Amino acid sequence: MSESLIQWIDFPILGDERGSLIALEADRVVPFPIKRVYYIFNTADGVSRGFHAHRDLKQLAVCVKGSCTMMVNNGYSSESAVLDTPTRGLLIENLIWREMHNFSADCVLLVLASKPYDEADYIRNYDDFIEETRRAARRS
Ligand code: T46
């Protein structure tokens, strides 16, 4: 479990004298087929979000404006990363508990997901999450 939990993907910047452009293509820059896109914005002051894990979902989170902090936890350790640039994304794999904190007022957090929305895929209870990580470790 020594690998970093923070997995950044740096995006190629297609820029010219007019400014910058980033293209996020499935299976190229984004390492999964994109089935859903959502974004979080207008987050009220002091609000934190997340507090869950997914059983079978890969996501790439990109702060296209402003900033926020993402805490990721694999059931054994946790790490935090500040998302504050549209030029790279944080890859979040299966069975990772995530919490989002410190949203700036102007934060727009774009998330690309590998599957359609499915509430049954969420683990919203932390003890259940820990139990599922231990079960997964026994299987592997
Ligand atoms: C995640 C973090 C980074 C939908 O109906 N469709 C959707 O695609 C999503 C993402 C949410 N919803 C509904 C479910 C809830 O009634 O929107 C409401 C808010 O969702 P939630 O409380 O899960 O939002 P966050 O910010 O805590 O978590 C979200 C994603 O749900 C989650 O997958 O990894 O952002």
Give the confidence band of 87 by pLDDT, cuts at 50, 70, 90. very high
Give the β-pairing of 19-21 and 78-83.
unpaired
Is residue 52 part of the annotated active site? The answer reads yes
Question: Maximum CA pair distance of the chain?
Answer: 54
Q: Which of 36, 42, 48, 49 to mutate to test ligand 1, by most ligand atoms within 8 A of the CB atom?
A: 49
Atom of ligand 1 nearest to the CA of 61: 3
The torsion angles phi and psi of 66, rounded to 5 degrees, stand at: 70, -150
Show the tokens assigned to 7.
């997995």
For the whole model, what pTM was predicted? 0.96
* Residue 93 reports pLDDT greater than 80: yes
Q: Which of 35, 43, 52 to mutate to test ligand 1, by most ligand atoms within 8 A of the CB atom?
A: 52
